[in-house]
Amino acid sequence: MNKPDFKILFVCMGNICRSPTAEAVFLKKLHQKAWSHKVKVDSAGTHNFHPNAPPDERSQTHARKRGYDLSQLRARAVVERDFEAFDLLLTMDWDNRALLEERCPAEHSHKIRGLDEFLQTSQASVIPDPYYGGEQGFEDVLDLIEEASDGLMQFIAKKAST
């Protein structure tokens, strides 16, 4: 099997809402472009609150309505080898980013970025945590992740052409 050209890790706090949603959305976009073999995608949490648990049922329900399947994903925490193994570690908010930056070896710190950096029109500075909010929060997260995923696809296309 060929080694992927690029490896991306999506990171939120518990790896049951935002980061598995981002993983599933981005995987579908990769599949649609036939790039699944070129880009490896995973997700993890800064905290090990839900080891091996499926994504939050609300995240799964809202994602399923848009054609994304989160059911096979399982929560895990970021581990030290992730900093070396992935080309990009994309955080959902400033707390996630700060926690990763604290743990990250200096030679890999350039890999940590916010997923919001890939938004194309939205002015959000984070992908907000919908866990304690209402149903609309899960829809808002999907909107932002879909938009950022489009920007991330463009970023990867440019990187591949250089």
Going 19 to 145 to 35 to 5, the CA torsion angle's sign is negative
Residue keyed to tokens 């304690």: 132
* Per-residue confidence (pLDDT) for residue 4, from 0 to 100: 78
DSSP codes, 52-94: TPPPPHHHHHHHHHTT---TT----B--HHHHHH-SEEEESSH
Q: What is the pLDDT of residue 160?
A: 78
pLDDT at residue 161, rounded to an integer:
75
How high is the mean pLDDT in each 10-residue block of the chain (162 residues)?
83 98 98 94 97 97 98 98 98 98 97 98 96 95 98 92 72
Percent helix, strand and coil across the chain, each rounded to 5?
50, 15, 40
List, by residue number, the catalytic residues. 12, 18, 129
Sheet holding 88-91: strands in order across? 39-45, 6-12, 88-91, 112-114
Structural domains for the chain: 6-161 (3.40.50.2300)
